[in-house]
A = this chain, B = another copy of it.
Amino acid sequence: MVKANEAFMHLKAGYLFPEVARRIEAWQQRHPGEEVLRLSIGNTTEALPPSIAKAMHEKINLLSSRETYTGYGDEQGDKELRRALRLHYEKEYNVALPDNAFFVSDGAKSDAANIQSIFSPSCIPAVQDPSYPVYVDSSVAGGHTGEYKDGGYQGIVYMPCDASNGFASLPPDAHADLIYLCFPNNPTGAVATREQLKAFVDYAHREKAIIIFDSAYSDYIQTEGIPHSIYEIEGAGDCAIEIGSFSKNAGFTGVRLGWTVVPEKLYGDDTFHRLWNRRQCTFFNGASNIAQSGGIAALSDEGRKECLELVGYYKKNAEIIRKGLASIGLECYGGIDSPYIWTRCPDNMSSWDFFDLLLDKAHTAVTPGSGFGKMGEGFVRFSAYGHRENIEEAMNSIKENL
């Protein structure tokens, strides 16, 4: 008789964001006609940059003629896009990697979840707490963990992030094989200094572990000296995989495009590059060619200028939120090199209680910090994605009604 995957059965409850959406919908049904101001999901709201839209229109025109139509692309991504990514790393990060280290995908979320599949289920994952739920959930579904108990999964090494360590944590004392790091961090908005990242690279070398570095928000970094790519750290090329995204800088949350860097050799061994290539060739058929045309445009000089303007818009939103929350005495973190403002709930409220209070009193939706891990309890995440006028309205509503 057919049986379900036992590892999947360990997964707790629903995925965070659908649960937030469900609660907002339930609230709206109880309050017909009331508008909810959404500072919850990290969902882009502003128009696609014009040079990117133009490139995608042009691609559709090419596909509309039999002379210029193309079908399946390379599973690893369009050669021109992989080359553009390589040049982008060289130019902006001074990082030299070969084209074949870049694997283009339908987005950072897919890659962050799928990457665990090339590692033995016996590999021990380490995750920041709080963290983006995909690292934990995909580790659970991939059989890398045990049961859920006391707010965490057995077999995962949690790296507590709190105000005392600037939400960046130190490498763990315990052994781990896969270290998930996200900087600028989702949800806390924290960034890591060169020294902090070096400590993780040293830990990885010591433990013969691999760092999975999620750099989806790297374009939000403004503070001088903060690395944008893990490969800016000496020794990272031997031990790190990096996941990047066009979602938050080019507005591709719905268009879907990302990439993963897997160096040809990790610790001198080509196994993981080979397995990721095999995984992509077997489980994937390349990202949409229209999205990839947009990605090439996004990496052009004009595209980069437009993307950074778009990032600037959301960063201005973040500043408005950060200052607004601080003005009513709330304790806030992040929001400088990041679109997220990590906010301590007042009066020792729980995350979901403060979520409900903000929804009820200020008609504003945020994301409860406890959804990101045990250490997230007592915090909520404000997201800077939204039209400026809505961000301002939400902040006014919070100031007036809370």
Contact = CB atoms under 8 A, between A and B. Distances in A.
Interface of A: 1-6, 8, 11, 14-15, 18, 41, 43-48, 50, 53, 56-57, 60-61, 63-66, 69-73, 75, 106-107, 109-110, 113-114, 117-123, 133-134, 137-138, 141, 177-178, 207-210, 251, 253-256, 271-272, 275, 278-279, 281-291, 385, 387
Given A47-B65, A63-B47, A66-B387, A254 B288 contact: yes
Nearest to A258: B285
Given A66-B47, A117-B5, A256 B60 contact: no
Copies in the complex: 2
Tell me the interface secondary structure of chain A in the complex: loop
A325 B146 CA distance: 58
Nearest to A117: B5
Contact of A285 (B47, B109, B122, B178): B109
A205 B172 CA distance: 50
Given A64-B53, A113-B282, A271 B4 contact: yes
A140 to B, nearest CB: 9
Contact of A1 (B46, B71, B208, B256): B208
Given A4-B271, A290-B56, A285 B107 contact: yes
Contacts of A138: 282-283
Given A15-B282, A275-B4, A255 B290 contact: yes
